[in-house]
Amino acid sequence: MLPEQWEVFKRAARLTSPNPVPMALIVDSPWIPGYLKISHMDYYLDPELWFQANRKIIGEYPGIIFVPGWWMEYGMAAEPSALGAKIKFWKDATPSVSHTLQRLEDVDEIAGYEIEADGFAALTLHRIAAQRQRILDTGHILPIVTSRGPMCTAAFVRGTTTFMMDLAENPEGAHKLLDLATRLVIDWLKAQHRAMGDTVEGILLLDDIVGFVNRRYYREFAHPYLTRVCEAFPRDWVKIYHNDAEINACLDHLPDCGFHVLNWGKQRDIADVKRRVGDRMCLMGNVNPLEIGVRGTPEEVRAETLRVLEASGGEGIILSVGGGISPGMPRENILAMQAALHEFNQVHARMA
């Protein structure tokens, strides 16, 4: 991310109503290898290919802010692998995670992690250290550290279905696992900060599992841990929350955790989200990522983009898809989003 792009993003995150409305996309390994027609295995394991792939994407779309930018990741492998989860890698797909914590009573046995030495967290930190100066030499910075959230990490280690049952059947054990996952997430984000250096001023937390619980369970099993993560970092840092599952149960409470930006999915219309939290959070969304972004025509993308922008009122929004960019989204549809945004910004500039 260029320094000037980060300044635009920060102003939007702090609800200072930048004009024109910016566009940002969460872009990572689910999309990049397929878009560039390279294998996922090579993308993860060939540092030169990874660097050139990211530079090509950035060069193709200079008007888009990529979040977090130059993302060094192994799919969703880093956090659960540091707690002993089994990771499977595939040639043409993101890694899959197999849970290994068969009993909640065994949480103490996995609690002694070393974030800079365990699993794919260690490999990611090594890659950051190896590539950091090269990225800075391009004129870009690394402003955002990233992690899966506590519920997501706990569900990977325990198994999602089993973990959902734990919340009802063994709440004490579930809290113990969530406490461990929260400590891991904070340590992981801080380790990335040390590796990236003093250009870091923000966090991106991704936790779709929060969307699997009702309001009461959110308040007990998610809200306190999300708040702990936010409070572990400076108040003036930008805090971005991604959840492209259902957000109805958590939506009204997310600003109280300390998040500034919400990137959410297609399930809830922007008008509803704007009404409920639009004066307390910047909304990063929410063009339908699959039915429109991947499967739609450029004209359908244009129409949906303009609908989202109009529903936002052009304030407190960073245009994006509803979640991360989905595998298979073609160039012409990304360009259609950009063109629609340019059209919208021109109209609103004339009206100002």
What are residue 147's DSSP bridge partners?
205
CA distances (Å), 71 to each of 95, 129, 137, 190, in order?
Answer: 16, 13, 16, 16
In CATH, what is the architecture of 3-351? Alpha-Beta Barrel (3.20)
The residue ranges of the chain whose pLDDT is under 50 are: none
Question: Would you state the pLDDT for residue 19?
Answer: 79
pLDDT value at residue 59: 96
* Predicted local distance difference test score (pLDDT) of residue 18: 64
User: In 3D, which of 352, 312, 319 has the Cα closest to residue 336?
Assistant: 319
Torsion of CA 291, 295, 300, 301, to 10 degrees: 80
Give residue limits of the domains in the chain.
3-351
Give the pLDDT of residue 352: 66
Q: What is the 3-state secondary structure (H, E, C) of 207-230?
A: CCHHHHCCHHHHHHHCHHHHHHHH
